[in-house]
A and B are shown apart, each in its own frame.
Chain A
Amino acid sequence: MSNIKDKIQEIFRDIFDEEELVISEETTADDIEEWDSLNHINIISAIEKEYKIKFALGELQAMKDVGEMIHLISVKSS
């Protein structure tokens, strides 16, 4: 799990171009100023590429915080 979190954190750091950014399972779009709907797609797309998975339509809408992302990734990539 922490492995997945580290990977996601790396993706967040790239997308927001903030080398020091630290995320937790509770991190939501409200915590990161630039995490708007457009960047949200970018995050999703980067995760899909990294883990070679594809989120279903319903799942795309459901991911509201980092914890849910980690959960879905671990389910889909296992």
Chain B
Amino acid sequence: MLEMLNYPFDNNILVKKKKLKKLLLKKSKFLEKNIAILGGSTTSEVRNILELFLLKNGIKPNFYESEYNKFYEDALFGSDALEAFKPDVIYIHTSNVNVIKYPEISHTRQDIDTLLENECNRFEQVWSGLQKYSCAIIQNNFELPLERNLGNLDFYNEHGKVNFIHRLNQKFSVSAEKIKNLYINDINYQSSLLGLEKWYSREYWYGYKYALSFDAIPLVAHNVAQIINAIFGQSKKCLVLDLDNTCWGGVIGDDGLNGIQIGTETAIAEAYSAFQQYAKDLKSRGITLAVSSKNDHANAEEGFLHPDSVLKYKDFTAFKANWEPKFSNILDIAKEINIGIDSLVFVDDNPAEREIVSMQVPMICVPNVGSNISEYICHIDKNGYFETVSLLVDDANRNKYYEDNKTRADEEAKFQDYGSFLDSLNMRAEISTFIPIYMDRITQLINKTNQFNLTTKRYTFGEVEGAANSENYITLYGKLEDKFGDNGLIAIIIAEIKEQMCHIDLWLMSCRVLKRDMEQAMLDALVEECLAKGIYTIRGYYYKSAKNAMVSKLYEKFGFTLLEQSGDDTVWELKISAAYKEQNKHIKRERGLDE
């Protein structure tokens, strides 16, 4: 039943709250905290559900609630009851119904700026009025309005409510940067996550003065609980991962390094890469990573040698791959990195393993991530295990931030031509002879590419392998990365060396990297290979198909001369020498992994 309090939060939490509370109170050790809620609307149910989430986190709250919509008065003029209460945390539950005055059409820009200032001042007064309690202050920002009187213009015209709310929120984040004990509960995000139509209930506002629907309450209460958790240092510190079908698709022990799914070559592989990236990002902000997996250590470690693996072996502070029960490995991990058992989150695709771990060591958080890789991140993220109220790296990075801002400003002025745009993409290509790990992807790409494909020859896996292993062939694959990410393996050349000439049997490229200079880079690499083999003539073939008209002039464009023509099919030739000038000007070319 307590499962209800995990993402995705069950709506029945509100109905079952009494029973849930009884269950939660069975735990023996609690941290007791005084939480004052100052509301700009009705807060009773927010308080009730917040209590559940806090109890679940091991915090037993005593509550103080302001009179209805008396947050301003309580903060500014004080209240004996609040003073006697000695709050550890003050939560100001306000929302856009508490904005006193929105812009009107007749207002000038200056009027609206004044409105904005007034609104902010009112909250700044609240925060400074509360400083005498020397406690943490959690403040809601603002959710977007449900209606947009000006339609889409509401966003970008200063008279719009949407525009006004955005500006207010911006001001709040600046204030939270400045005021050390001020924390923002981001209901702007929470409401968009839920959807504004679900977030609002007009009936409950008019009828009971709830500024949000009951559907929204668990989400808000949970977020506040996680902030409180973070303030008192109770957030989780370590993410323990299973490997097979958790960090990559497939079983490394059975499928081998070439068989596991990771990278950009398939949908599933992409999803695993995204998951690894999420974990890596957690690590770079200070969360410790560990592995607990049933595997031979050597196999497990090998998985992270995959060229597309985002995570590397060294990213893990503790690495337990063996055949011991996972819970005992996880207990060892906690000991090894010297953190409490209740600081661990364990992610495993196998429901049986999850069950055993949470039965054996209930203090470990084991989210029910299911077995669908595309949902793992949600369960870690939305449960807020790793909520944080500050970043250690902030100070170190501040200087860099200013530098970056300067570059950004400079960048705005450029892009007079396409070439400088390409340069701004920071493209890097890996071009190299076929290697076993990419054979599947290469075969797949050969058999499905139709547009940028000079000959549209199809190859079996065996034929691809044959060409790769033959002295008489030059094989090249190309991968392209830019500042927006990895495009994966997207270009292929297979050429046969015959009679001291290089014949391009196959040249294809995925259309997603068109107009990036990638074809130029591939040609440059081919020329390089030829020169190394003492070949000075390259023959190119264009066989017209229903779909490849886009490359009919490719060889012409690259300075090849026409040798033969029969119908629409053409044969081209290029003489090369050491004086060959590289065609690609915008991509930094790197060799593959085969050295």
> Which residue numbers of A lie inside 8 Å of B, CB to CB?
11, 14-17, 37-38, 41-42, 45-46, 49, 54-57, 60-61
Contact = CB atoms under 8 A, between A and B. Distances in A.
B203 interface: yes
Given A38-B45, A42-B45, A45-B214, 13 more contacts: A11-B15, A14-B12, A14-B19, A15-B18, A17-B22, A37-B208, A38-B44, A42-B214, A45-B204, A54-B203, A57-B203, A57-B206, A57-B207
A46 B17 CA distance: 12
B497 interface: no
Contacts of A49: 11
Most buried by B among A11, A16, A41, A49: A41
B335 interface: no
Main secondary structure of the interface of A (DSSP, over half): helix
B18 A16 contact: yes
Nearest to A43: B15
Nearest to B217: A45
29 contacts: A11-B15, A14-B12, A14-B15, A14-B16, A14-B18, A14-B19, A15-B18, A17-B19, A17-B22, A38-B45, A41-B45, A41-B204, A41-B207, A41-B210, A41-B214, A42-B14, A42-B15, A42-B45, A42-B214, A45-B204, A45-B214, A46-B14, A46-B15, A54-B203, A56-B203, A57-B206, A57-B207, A60-B203, A61-B207
Interface residues of B, number: 17
Nearest to B16: A14
A11 B11 CA distance: 13
A41 B18 contact: no
Contacts of A11: 15
Contacts of B210: 41
Interface in B14-64: 14-16, 18-19, 22, 44-45
A46 B13 CA distance: 10
Nearest to B20: A17
B45 A15 contact: no
| Chain B residues touching A, majority SS | helix
Contacts of A15: 15, 18
B215 to A, nearest CB: 8
Contacts of B206: 57
A70 to B, nearest CB: 18
A3 B22 CA distance: 29
Interface in B162-209: 203-204, 206-208
A50 to B, nearest CB: 9
Contacts of A46: 14-15
Top 10 closest pairs, chain A to chain B, by CB: A17-B18, A45-B214, A14-B15, A46-B15, A60-B207, A38-B44, A41-B208, A17-B19, A14-B16, A57-B203
A45 B146 CA distance: 21
A49 to B, nearest CB: 6
A37 B210 CA distance: 13
Contact of A45 (B14, B16, B44): B14
Contacts of A16: 18
B335 to A, nearest CB: 41
A10 to B, nearest CB: 9
A11 to B, nearest CB: 6
A15 B208 CA distance: 18
B21 to A, nearest CB: 9
A57 B19 CA distance: 30
B357 to A, nearest CB: 31
Nearest to A38: B44
Nearest to A14: B15
Nearest to B206: A57
A23 B15 CA distance: 17
Contacts of B208: 37, 41
Contacts of B18: 14-17
A17 B15 CA distance: 9
A65 B44 CA distance: 23
Interface string B370-410: 00000000000000000000000000000000000000000
A14 B204 CA distance: 21
A11 B15 CA distance: 7
B203 A55 contact: yes
Contacts of B214: 41-42, 45
A34 B203 CA distance: 23
Contacts of A57: 203, 206-207
Nearest to A15: B15
Nearest to B203: A57
Nearest to A34: B18
B95 to A, nearest CB: 18
Contacts of B12: 14
Contacts of B45: 38, 41-42
Of A15, A17, A45, A54, the most chain B CB neighbours within 10 A belong to A45
B560 to A, nearest CB: 68
Nearest to A42: B14
A61 B210 CA distance: 15
A62 B136 CA distance: 42
B9 to A, nearest CB: 13
Interface centre among B15, B19, B22, B206 (most CB of A within 10 A): B15
Contacts of A41: 45, 204, 207-208, 210, 214
A19 to B, nearest CB: 10
A45 B16 CA distance: 13
A60 B16 CA distance: 22
B482 to A, nearest CB: 48
A16 B210 CA distance: 21
Nearest to A11: B15
B392 to A, nearest CB: 42
Contacts of A42: 14-15, 45, 214
